[in-house]
Structure 1
């Protein structure tokens, strides 16, 4: 389908899908075993790169879902998030606790953004 563009396509999923003026990012994770701070920093850098590749940026994020393996780390993740998020354009956001794909992952972030 020509009206759907996929970025960084793999055998299981694409890292981003562009359709209808929106970009949907797959759940992004950091390096397994890193701290919550380092995983969150890595994830947000990856989100910046994917949004740029798609023709968008963090000021265009509409919705974010954050999964954490343990909500005790909520403040640590938020410290990194708060330094990164565009304060003039914060997205709608939900954060919850869930078992992630492997116990070495502490944070996973999913984003939907408008194209620029």
Structure 2
């Protein structure tokens, strides 16, 4: 079975496709100016764009793992997530508090989806 790598760098690929499944690299939107809600919105926009580029959509997500810098921001994240996912099929989801690679990153999303 073929494995397709899209938007690859020396370190990683933004999208990997294999056997009808799409894997996205971790999506972040770190900026000193953005709070958790805005970073979440920006990540979800990026996810939609990458899934479309890969031949899928948010409606085809299988699982999402969310890494959050501080669980005190869990409600803020969920308010944005709940509004965005409201009219879509719900993927399996996990949310984990994690130390991030940069102080500016408050949330990071890892997504697996099915091809159309």
Query: Shared topology, TM-score over 0.5?
Result: yes
TM-score by length of 2: 0.94
Task: Count residues in correspondence.
Answer: 115
Distance in 1 (alpha carbons) for counterparts of 2:27 and 2:99: 15
Structure 1: runs of 5 or more not aligned: none
- Post-superposition offset of 1:88: 4.4
Q: Provide closer, same or farther for how the CA distance between residues 40 and 88 of structure 1 changes in structure 2, counting only shifts above 3 A.
A: closer
Distance in 1 (alpha carbons) for counterparts of 2:52 and 2:13: 16
Structure 2: runs of 5 or more not aligned: none
Corresponding position: 1:10 with 2:21: no
State the Cα deviation string for residues 34-70 of structure 1 (Å, max 9, x = none). Answer: 2111111110000000000000001100000000000
Distance in 1 (alpha carbons) for counterparts of 2:110 and 2:87: 19
- Post-superposition offset of 1:84: 1.1
TM-score by length of 1: 0.94
Q: Deviation above 6 Å: which 4+ runs of structure 1?
A: none
Q: What's the RMSD between the two structures over aligned residues?
A: 1.2
Distance in 1 (alpha carbons) for counterparts of 2:55 and 2:86: 17
